[in-house]
Chains A and B, each alone.
Chain A
Amino acid sequence: AQKITQTQPGMFVQEKEAVTLDCTYDTSDQSYGLFWYKQPSSGEMIFLIYQGSYDEQNATEGRYSLNFQKARKSANLVISASQLGDSAMYFCAMRAGPNTGTASKLTFGTGTRLQVTL
């Protein structure tokens, strides 16, 4: 069974500062994918970044980067230069196995609520 653990229920960060949201995972699959989603109060799920288990380089997307440490089974999200609009829930999720049909289902962590302050 797959498991995603997010140990930070809430985080505060000052505007323009960087923040790291923690995520650890557990799976017996050799091939898997790790995702981060942002969920504002409206409820929509906004895709932020993806890291494949075989990717040797850490993924980056604009102000988002994923600190992937495979041996530690961690996939932390780093948000640089935080903005007020970054305030939201952030979910780490894992797809165990390849991206094909029914195997693409995601297992989510419990989420971290990020609050960006002035």
Chain B
Amino acid sequence: GAVVSQHPSWVICKSGTSVKIECRSLDFQATTMFWYRQFPKQSLMLMATSNEGSKATYEQGVEKDKFLINHASLTLSTLTVTSAHPEDSSFYICSAPGLAELEDNEQFFGPGTRLTVL
């Protein structure tokens, strides 16, 4: 199957700093990518939809000025957590949908980034 990578796999930062997380589709092009957040022992919650060449679409309750998304190319989307605070500590996972022609195609998930804000 297709491969999606994320970098870094984990990061620890001080409160008030900004953190950038990269999501790359390694062997396919992704005009759309999704960013999910997962708090400990909870489910994945969609934060935003990243669209190549246009603005991201944020889910209700997600601050777009705090979570900056840039879909720079057909293989790269970045999520920047600005002025991070301890409550932003979470597991962030990106995904990209498979080929639209294949109805049963799975979403391809990155390995996730564990963010800890001190």
- Give me the interface of A with B, judged by CB distance under 8 Å: 33, 35, 37, 42-45, 47, 50, 52, 91, 95, 98-102, 104-111
Contact = CB atoms under 8 A, between A and B. Distances in A.
A99 B103 contact: yes
Contacts of B44: 45, 91, 106, 108
Interface residues of B, number: 30
Contact of A99 (B38, B91, B98): B98
Nearest to B113: A43
A50 B104 contact: yes
Chain A interface main SS type: mixed
Contacts of A37: 109
Contacts of A102: 32, 49, 51, 57
B18 interface: no
Contacts of A106: 34, 44, 46, 95, 107
A105 B103 contact: no
A43 B110 CA distance: 10
Contacts of A95: 107
A108 B57 CA distance: 18
B107 A35 contact: yes
